[in-house]
Structure 1
Amino acid sequence: MEKLNIICIDDQRDVLAAVQKDMLYFAPIAEIIECESTAEAEEIMEELFAEEKPIAMLICDHIMPGENGVDFLARLQQDGRFRNISSILLTGLATHQDTIEAINRAHISHYIEKPWKSEELINKIRILMTRFVIKSGRDFKDYMDFMDQNTLYNEMHERY
């Protein structure tokens, strides 16, 4: 079984540590890669793409120095290599308008407010992981223990 890659982007080390702790659940099937900026994340994404390693999703902070999360995710939508990567936007300071912009411009998959509940983050990741595994044509049996069963059923039902 090939491990999937999940990239977490936040300029605050304590937030990255909290996300990493919540994501230990997925360690058997995924590499959790921490980045402190969008530039660092983009560099890692380029390397993973060159090595043909799967990027299952991005978990990205909204408010960061330099490029913010929405601008970064929107820019990725313009790059065919990364257009279909699922994303979760984490933020504690967003307005209603920020949320609308994130959905419309960056096509985020989920939006989670800080501070988040671990179970909420894990459940969203399970759903996105399930969709990624099915859509990428991987043998879902290898990932079954980490998949959302309702999403798996719905995705399989749509396909067959």
Structure 2
Amino acid sequence: MERLYIISVEDQKEVLNTISEQLSHFEEYVTLEECETANEAYDLLTEIERKGEQTAVVVSDHVMPGMTGVELFIKLKSDGRFEGIKKVLLTGQATHADTIDAINKAQIDFYIEKPWQSDTLLEKVSILLTRYIVETGLAYEPFAPVLHKQTLFDLLKGR
């Protein structure tokens, strides 16, 4: 089975712990990683790619010291190694301009406003993990228990 990663990026440790706890639903099937800055996340993504492994989803806060979440996503979008990564902006402090940049320049997949519902985060990440696996041509069967069934059905039907 391919080794896939889901990375959470959040500068507030208690919020990062909450995100990780909620995403633990996926940990039997993917590797979960935490980063407290966007720069740390970019370095980790580079290391994962260098090892020949893949990151499927990045969930990031926006307002953080140094590089913002939107800036991270724009950087990922412009770096050919990472353009297929699915992106979730999880924030309560993005401005209107930040949100426009996230959509137009970074092409985020989902925007989730803080405070969020655990079910919402899990569903969105499941949808994106499913899309990533199907779009990259990975065998979906080993991941089936955590994939979004309707999304998987729709994508397979459309092949």
The answer, yes or no, to whether TM exceeds 0.5 is: yes
Separation in 1 of the partners of 2:94 and 2:105?
Answer: 15
More deviation, 134-143/112-121: 134-143
For 2:88, give the aligned amino acid: I
Deviations 1:101-158 (A, max 9, x none): 2101111000001111000000001100101111121111111111111101111122
Q: In the TM superposition, what are the counterparts of 1:7-156 in structure 2 within 5 Å? A: 7-156=7-156
In structure 1, runs of 5+ residues without a counterpart are none
Runs of at least 4 residues off by over 6 Å: none
For 1:101, give the aligned amino acid: D
TM-score by length of 1: 0.95
Separation in 2 of the partners of 1:59 and 1:111?
Answer: 10
- Aligned-pair RMSD on alpha carbons? 1.0
TM-score by length of 2: 0.96
Shift in Å at residue 94 of structure 1?
Answer: 2.0
Q: What is the aligned-residue identity percentage? A: 39
Q: Secondary structure at the match of 1:106?
A: coil
Q: Are the counterparts in 1 of residues 6 and 32 from structure 2 also a CA contact under 8 Å?
A: yes
Q: Secondary structure at the match of 1:14?
A: helix
| Number of equivalences | 159
